[in-house]
Amino acid sequence: MDIRIGQGYDSHRFAGEGPLRLGTLDVDYPQGFAAHSDGDVVLHAITDAILGALAAGDIGDHFPDTDPQFKGASSDQFLRHAISLAAAAGYHVGNLDVTILAEAPKLSPHKKPMAEAIAALLGADVSRISIKAKTNETMGFVGRREGIAVMATVLLV
């Protein structure tokens, strides 16, 4: 069996008004994200993990943030593009493991609906999608509530 692993990372700075677009959900928060697209840092990390598994570059290669057509773009399309590349190469998602680093907002109530929404986008059973959330113990930019960072690992089979 041919399997491929990929890892992705992204971080976005809080700016402007909420809600926060996170893992396709609109999470209630006083601030949103500074970003060229809708700023969905969770979907960006997952997209990069899939592109990494395929050795197909990174999200900036496929969707340059200098391109006006992606201004305010829904990040669903980035993930759909990556998963279509995977499918064209004969792969589907074996499992996905995501860690969200956020001092705020509290994400525990959102983990399950986020996993369900991402599973639907990926065409995977929700039992294969893990969403974990933790604080950074008040350290660094996450700890100072300047933004959110996300790490994602995906296995393509």
- Interacting residues toward Mg ion by CB under 5 A: 10, 44
Burial of 60-93, coded b for 16+ CB within 10 Å and e otherwise, reads: eebbeeeeeebeebebeebbbbbbebbeeeebeb
For residue 64, the SS3 value is: coil
Q: Report the 10 Å Cβ neighbour count for 25.
A: 17
Is beta strand 93-101 parallel, antiparallel or unpaired with respect to 129-134? parallel
Q: Is residue 26 within a helix (H) or strand (E), and if so which, with residue range?
A: strand 25-27
In the complex, what is the shortest distance from the CB of residue 73 to Mg ion, in angstroms, rounded to a whole number? 11
Our CB check for Mg ion shows the closer of 8 and 105 to be 8
Our CB check for Mg ion shows the closer of 7 and 126 to be 7
Our CB check for Mg ion shows the closer of 21 and 44 to be 44
Our CB check for Mg ion shows the closer of 3 and 154 to be 154
Distance, in Å, from the CA atom of 57 to the CA atom of 27, rounded to the nearest integer, reads: 30
Query: In the chain, where does DSSP find H-type helix?
Result: 41-53, 59-62, 76-88, 111-122, 140-143
In the complex, what is the shortest distance from the CB of residue 41 to Mg ion, in angstroms, rounded to a whole number? 6
In the complex, what is the shortest distance from the CB of residue 137 to Mg ion, in angstroms, rounded to a whole number? 24
Our CB check for Mg ion shows the closer of 59 and 131 to be 59
In the complex, what is the shortest distance from the CB of residue 10 to Mg ion, in angstroms, rounded to a whole number? 4
In the complex, what is the shortest distance from the CB of residue 147 to Mg ion, in angstroms, rounded to a whole number? 11
